[in-house]
């Protein structure tokens, strides 16, 4: 989803900055500080970055750098395995879209890309046992993770990273609530069993065959906005991530060690009526080397309402989107970009069954 209006036509409950002057690479700090004044200041800075630039670099977040480095190392070790070994945990073998997906299986910009994205990845979510009530109900995208055998350390590391970044994502939603002058825990009830996905990614290097510019007909990740609430991205030092800012310019979201890049997703945009527009971004790996990143998609419970928060609307302003639910929205987006999915996972009749 891409916003079709000028995002500069609204005020924001934060420091205002013109997109041409805003520093897209200024580091913001997370909000574990217990002092109300500091928490409020950090929340407003984050909101200002979302509003004026479209993304933020989050430092001081509390996720141990050793854990981040170890997670990258374990992911790289997995991606280096023979294809046959990786295929033992292919997403096609999962009932809930968990496990390894091959290069080209995801196409984030099907209108422009002739083939799928030039990347492979591994999907990890809330690990719900077959006996969990939501799994027994057959809700799409709810169930157990897949884990490779004979890859010691992989599962333990991924689960530790998942838990750490999950806690950070919750802090970020608290900051968003504070910036919107809502109770700090406003969003918590929508994230009790969230549809969270962590997805280590591997991008092979890319160069134009004729020595010219790389065509948008196939790139590492086609231009897209993230589908859920927020995405927290750790990236290696290769570069390649580009974000389109409020002025319509593609800017490099350069790697900054020790930070997470935080993007606004579709659902947060809908909750705020595009006060925080969804961040359009893409990946083109021209580094000449293998690139890795680890996005963490913080998406709410399947039945969370996805409609404008009434107090966000100005007097006389109308909602820009029809109401829906988290699962319904995700099914619509996944159905358009993940062609390998079984119909039952994106069937509208199974959204809230």
Within a domain: residue 10?
no
Q: For 129-150, how does the pLDDT look when each residue is reduced to its tens digit (9 = 90+)?
A: 999 999 999 999 999 999 999 9
Tell me: the pLDDT tens digits for 82-100?
999 999 999 999 999 999 9
DSSP 168-187: HHHHHHHHHHHHTTS-TTTT
Query: 117: pLDDT confidence band, cut at 50, 70 and 90?
Result: very high
Taking the model in full, what pTM does it have?
A: 0.89
* Residue reference for tokens 């036509």: 9
Q: 264 lies in a domain?
A: yes
Q: Which of these ranges, 30-44, 138-152, 269-283, has the smallest mean pLDDT?
A: 30-44
Residue 16: band (very low, low, confident or very high) from pLDDT cuts 50, 70, 90: very low
CA contacts within 13 A on the Cβ side of 300: 23
Q: What is the pLDDT of residues 222-246, one digit of tens each?
A: 999 999 999 999 999 999 999 887 6
As for how many domains the chain has, the answer is 1
pLDDT tens-digit readout, 74-83 = 999 999 999 9
Helix (H, G, I), strand (E, B) or coil at 296: strand
Is residue 75, in this structure, part of any structural domain at all? yes
- For residues 179 and 200, give the distance between their C-alpha atoms in angstroms, rounded to a whole number: 30
| Residue 115 reports pLDDT greater than 60 | yes
| Alpha-carbon separation of residue 156 from 22, 71, 147, 193 (angstroms) | 40, 10, 10, 21
Confidence of residue 3 (pLDDT cuts 50, 70, 90): very low
Percent of the chain residues past pLDDT 70, beyond the cut: 86
pLDDT of 26 > 80? The answer is: no
In a domain, 12, yes or no: no
Average per-residue pLDDT for the chain: 87
Q: Does 102 reside within a domain? A: yes
Sequence-ordered list of residues with C-beta below 8 angstroms from that of 136, at least 6 positions apart, any chain: 130
Q: Residue 220's pLDDT band (boundaries 50, 70, 90)?
A: very high
Rounded Cα distance, 338 and 349, in Å = 18
Residue 170 pLDDT > 90, yes or no? yes
Place of tokens 């169930």: 143
> Which CATH number does the domain housing residue 43 bear?
2.60.120.330
* pLDDT value at residue 303: 97
Q: How far apart are CA 259 and CA 61, in angstroms?
A: 8
Q: Cite the beta strand spans of the chain per DSSP E.
A: 27-29, 55-59, 99-101, 120-125, 197-198, 201-203, 221-224, 230-235, 241-244, 250-252, 260-264, 281-283, 291-298, 305-306, 324-325
Residue found by looking up tokens 């420091």 in the block: 15
What whole-number distance in Å separates Cα of residue 14 and Cα of residue 190?
A: 24
pLDDT of 29 above 90 = no
51 pLDDT higher than 90: no
Q: Is the pLDDT of residue 8 over 60?
A: no
**Lookup: tokens for 293:** 């990143």
Residue 212 lies in a domain: yes
Residue 244: its pLDDT value, please?
Answer: 86
The confidence score (pLDDT) of residue 4 equals 32
258 found inside a domain: yes
Percent of the chain with pLDDT over 90: 70
Range in 146-160, 197-211, 305-319 with the lowest mean pLDDT: 197-211
- The pLDDT confidence band at residue 1, using thresholds 50, 70 and 90, is very low
Residue 241: domain span: 24-350
Residue 80 within any structural domain of the chain = yes
């Amino acid at each position: 989803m891409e916003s079709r209006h000028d995002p500069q036509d609204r005020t924001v409950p934060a420091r205002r900055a013109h997109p041409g002057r805003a520093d897209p690479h200024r580091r913001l700090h997370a909000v574990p500080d217990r002092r109300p004044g500091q928490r409020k200041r950090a929340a407003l800075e984050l909101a200002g970055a979302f509003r004026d630039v479209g993304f933020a670099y989050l430092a001081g977040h509390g996720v141990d750098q050793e854990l981040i480095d170890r997670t990258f190392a374990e992911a790289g070790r997995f991606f280096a395995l023979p294809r046959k070994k990786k295929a033992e945990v292919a997403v096609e073998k999962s009932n809930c879209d968990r496990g390894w997906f091959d290069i080209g299986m995801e196409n984030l910009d099907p209108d422009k890309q002739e083939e799928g994205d030039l990347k492979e990845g591994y999907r990890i979510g809330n690990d719900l046992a077959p006996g969990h009530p939501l799994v027994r109900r057959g809700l799409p995208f709810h169930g157990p993770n897949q884990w490779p055998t004979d890859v010691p350390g992989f599962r333990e590391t991924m689960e530790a990273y998942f838990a750490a970044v999950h806690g950070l994502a919750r802090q970020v939603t608290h900051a968003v609530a504070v910036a919107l002058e809502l109770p700090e825990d406003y969003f918590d009830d929508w994230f009790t069993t969230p549809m969270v996905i962590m997805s280590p990614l591997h991008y092979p290097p890319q160069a134009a065959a004729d020595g010219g510019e790389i065509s948008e007909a196939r790139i590492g990740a086609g231009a897209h906005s993230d589908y859920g609430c927020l995405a927290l991205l750790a990236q290696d030092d290769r570069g390649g991530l580009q974000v389109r800012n409020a002025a319509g310019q593609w800017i490099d979201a350069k790697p900054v060690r020790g930070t997470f890049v935080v993007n606004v997703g579709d659902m947060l945009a809908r909750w705020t009526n595009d006060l925080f527009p969804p961040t359009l971004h893409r990946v083109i790996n021209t580094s000449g080397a293998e690139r890795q990143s680890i996005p963490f998609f913080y998406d709410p419970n399947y039945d969370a309402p996805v409609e404008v928060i009434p107090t966000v609307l100005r007097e006389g302003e109308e909602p820009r989107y029809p109401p829906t639910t988290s699962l319904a929205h995700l099914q619509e987006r996944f159905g358009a970009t993940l062609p390998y999915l079984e119909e039952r996972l994106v069937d509208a009749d199974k959204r809230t069954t």
